[in-house]
Amino acid sequence: VSRKLSRKQLLIAGGAAGAAAAVGGGIVHESRSGATPAQADASVQSPTVPFHGVYQAGILTPSQSDLRFASFDFIGSGKQDLHDLLRAWTTAAATLTAGQPLGTPNEDPAKPPTDTGEATGLAPARLTLTFGLGPTLFDKVGLSSRRPPQLTDIPHFPFDELDPSISGGDLCVQACADDPQVAFHAIRALTRIGFGVTALRWIQSGFTSAPVGNGTKRNLMGFKDGTANPSTSDAAMMKSNVWASAGDGQDWMANGSYLVSRKVEIRIEVWDTSAESEQEGVFGRHKRSGAPFGATSEFDTVHIEDIPARAHIRRANPRQGEVTERERILRRGYNFDEGLDAGFTESVAGLFFLAYQRDPRAQFVPIQSRLAAEDRLNEYIQHVSSAVWAILPGVERPDDYLGQTLFEA
Ligand code: HEM
Q: Tell which atom from ligand 1 comes closest to the C-alpha of 220.
A: 5
**Model confidence band, residue 12 (pLDDT cutoffs 50, 70, 90):** very low
Q: Does the pLDDT at position 191 exceed 70?
A: yes
User: What tens digit of pLDDT does each residue of 268-310 get?
Assistant: 999 999 999 999 999 999 999 999 999 999 999 999 999 999 9
**Model confidence band, residue 6 (pLDDT cutoffs 50, 70, 90):** very low
Binding site membership of 280 for ligand 1 (Cβ less than 6 Å): no
What is the whole-number distance in angstroms between the Cα of residue 44 and the centre of ligand 1? 24
Binding site membership of 364 for ligand 1 (Cβ less than 6 Å): yes
What is the whole-number distance in angstroms between the Cα of residue 228 and the centre of ligand 1? 9
**Model confidence band, residue 358 (pLDDT cutoffs 50, 70, 90):** very high
Q: Does the pLDDT at position 1 exceed 70?
A: no
Instruction: Give burial (CB, 10 Å; 0-12/13-18/19+) of 294.
Output: middle
Q: Does the pLDDT at position 104 exceed 80?
A: yes
Binding site membership of 197 for ligand 1 (Cβ less than 6 Å): no
Binding site membership of 154 for ligand 1 (Cβ less than 6 Å): no
User: What tens digit of pLDDT does each residue of 13-63 get?
Assistant: 443 333 333 333 323 322 323 334 434 444 445 699 999 999 999 999 999
- Check residue 36 and give its pLDDT: 41
What is the whole-number distance in angstroms between the Cα of residue 301 and the centre of ligand 1? 16
Q: Tell which atom from ligand 1 comes closest to the C-alpha of 221.
A: 5
What is the whole-number distance in angstroms between the Cα of residue 235 and the centre of ligand 1? 22
pLDDT above 70: percentage of residues in the chain? 89
- Check residue 106 and give its pLDDT: 78
Taking the alpha carbons of 377, 383, 388, 391 in that order, is the dihedral positive or negative?
Answer: negative
Binding site membership of 376 for ligand 1 (Cβ less than 6 Å): no
Q: Tell which atom from ligand 1 comes closest to the C-alpha of 367.
A: 30
pTM as predicted: 0.91
- Check residue 46 and give its pLDDT: 64
CB 65 within 8 A of CB 183: no
- As a residue count, the chain comes to 409
Q: What is the pLDDT of the chain when averaged over all its residues? A: 90
